[in-house]
Structure 1
């Protein structure tokens, strides 16, 4: 009949074509003179049939042998840079998304919860030179050239990506979840095209621009608003701990989740505690820090913790109680050299579109009116504010 194989370089489409023809496995086996066990093995790719069997199957299914057993195109290998702070390399099993940033190929790992929502561009097969990996491509290389990477903590960045790809199918936007400071640092290292940030500066009373100036070290960038939102403390549904003010967070019976120092919501909480004379060390914290807003919200919804810093849209999405502390603006930082490129022009058109603003408003907790507004252009020598050219 054939031989037992692992179909390297081949695949079996017998089951797919049989089902399309409306035949049961038993009927195809009978017409082809095979046992059901043999046909099952062929469909599962455990046996490669000999020429005579393959011809009989093709005749019964009214197709060509090469339709039943197509040859897989050999995997193309691409060497890409591994983001410095993306975690450990795990050769052989790691899924990645790929894109070109400033002439350099970057491979971001698809891990944790968000990685389940995105089809991989490739798979790491081995480590390359220091700081680089070899990736077996799973999509045509031409698609990689039309990819934008955006880093940030705002879950609505995934929604923005969906709107871009729906309206402009030629382009792809890949959201890389990370806190605001990490996003600015990754942009400075040339690992992202766009960084999202909500780092309020309490000393200057200004959203984001002081942090952008520090992180980008004078690199010319344009800063666009995405939305305004309220920052504060997220609490379990119904607020069972009866937390009404910041002083309540110091109760020793509470479990408080913290965020990394580079997280905007954590900075707001620490600053507001300081204003009220409460040291952050007075909060009875858990031993681990959450990476993002969604992790904090999930822990609170499951009653694994009693409070944690966050933002109103995420609290509403999870049905959480919320203690508001401050309002801030979420901005998107784009290097000047990317302005005017077709993919960034498409991105800005979607960002400022009425449909995207309406969907942000429907989520709740966002003020989407500023979406797409140019906040500032920061150059090496000076700043041009709204409307500056």
Structure 2
């Protein structure tokens, strides 16, 4: 049994002693009721409801909130809560590799921790879970899309879960996001993702080595073998591109300095090179552009949006209206060398 007794008492500027006296119970008994350790009898519950001019069910209620397995969380930690395909999903509001989330408001917080399980409560200022749109993937253009959706809505209703291809596909299969954007420029097959409702073309760009041109000549195979790398996690498209390049150029990954240094996002890789933590890394050309790095292309790449729910779903439909907007297209064009000529095209 849960209650709002403490909240109501504080709102009325009453101490526990004041309320206990008016209710006809001891302060210790009232404290135990507030903590949920004791369920009040009918007379006490009715008296408390009369004092606060509310119904008994407004003060006392069964806790029907679902619990979620999320180890390492603490009470008060920010969360992103959404309803997708009839289920409630939750993601951490602070995510390694996604600093863009620090600038948006979470719509829920951890209210209770029991071991590795948590219970959540909606934030008073946050969007209702039914309004929230979640998209996952590593393309930084997703962050720009989410910003455009939130600007159009006038509040935070969309969130970007920044993760690699493999994690994004797992989220899609589990319906933990509405959509994902994954690399399809490296021979990956659409058939790998089951239960996809629709696919749309997102951004197109080049994938390759970003490096500081004022310190290095354009890298060739022999020069790269002597340079310090930073990498992306296993399952990331950029890492697959580096592995393919290594195979084609007889450069065993064990001989590449920094191959095992994994950073959580494309932006982190570009910034590590720009700050001289590393000499080069594989990244989309727009990330190299954002950090004023030189760039050597390895391949043409493409991000494809795959949807776990129908495109007519209200949340998705609103997001797609923004995707096709002139403002979003203009933002992409000034944010780096993206090819947006086929953005939003339906794929089979």
What's the TM-score bracket when you normalise by the shorter of the two chains? 0.7 to 0.9
Q: Which residue of structure 2 aligns with residue 226 of structure 1?
A: 202
Which residue in 1 is equivalent to 2:162?
177
Residue 51 of structure 2 aligns with which residue?
Answer: none
1:239 Cα offset (Å):
4.5
**Which position in structure 1 is the counterpart of 2:142?**
157
For the residues of structure 2 that align with 1:116 and 1:8, how far apart are their CA atoms? 34
Report matched runs for 1:318-333 at 5 Å: 318-333=291-306
The 3 A distance-change label for structure 1 pair 312 and 121 is same
Q: CA deviation at 1:246?
A: 3.1
1:92 to 55, 68, 75: 75
Cα offset, 1:166, TM superposition: 2.5
Q: Distance in 1 between matches of 2:236 and 2:163?
A: 9
SS in 1 for 2:262: strand
CA 1:144–1:255: 2 relative to 1, 3 Å: same
CA shift in 2, pair 1:95/1:77, >3 Å: farther
Provide the rounded CA distance (Å) in 2 between the counterparts of 1:94 and 1:266: 32
SS of residue paired to 1:272: helix
Q: CA RMSD in A?
A: 2.9
Give the secondary structure class of the aligned counterpart of 1:213. helix
Sort the Cα spacing of 1:154 and 1:347 in 2 relative to 1 into closer, same or farther, 3 A: same
2:66 paired residue number? 79
- Per the alignment, in what secondary structure is the counterpart of residue 96 of structure 1? strand
Aligned to 2:258: 285
Matched, 1:255 2:223: no
Q: Cα–Cα, structure 1 residues 77 and 286, in superposed 2: closer, same or farther, change >3 Å?
A: farther
TM-score (normalised: structure 1): 0.68
Please list every run of 5 or more consecutive structure 2 residues that lacks an aligned counterpart in the other structure: 1-7, 14-58
Q: Does the 8 A contact of 1:80 with 1:106 survive in 2?
A: no
Partner residue in 2 for 1:194:
179
The aligned residue for residue 111 of structure 2 is 125
Where does residue 121 of structure 2 map in the other structure? 136
CA separation of 1:105/1:243 partners in 2, compared to 1, >3 Å: closer, same or farther?
A: same
Which of 244, 249, 255 matches 2:219? 244
Provide the rounded CA distance (Å) in 1 between the counterparts of 2:64 and 2:346. 40
How high is the TM-score relative to the length of structure 2?
A: 0.75
Deviation of 1:151 (Å):
0.5
Aligned partner (choices 333, 336, 339) of residue 311 of structure 2: 339
Report what 1:45 is aligned to.
Answer: none
How much has 1:241 moved relative to structure 2?
Answer: 3.2
Distance 1:9 1:224 in 2: 52
Contact 2:135 2:179 in 1 (8 A): yes
Sort the Cα spacing of 1:80 and 1:193 in 2 relative to 1 into closer, same or farther, 3 A: farther
User: Could you report, residue by residue, the CA deviation over 1:285-319 in whole angstroms, capped at 9, with x for unpaired residues?
Assistant: 16531111011112112111111111110111111
Q: How many residues align?
A: 292
What is the alpha-carbon distance in structure 1 between the residues aligned to residue 205 and residue 240 of structure 2? 15
Task: Name the CA shift for 1:220/1:150 in 2 (closer, same or farther; >3 Å).
Answer: closer
Distance 1:170 1:242, change over 3 A: closer
Segments of 4+ in structure 1 off by > 6 A? none
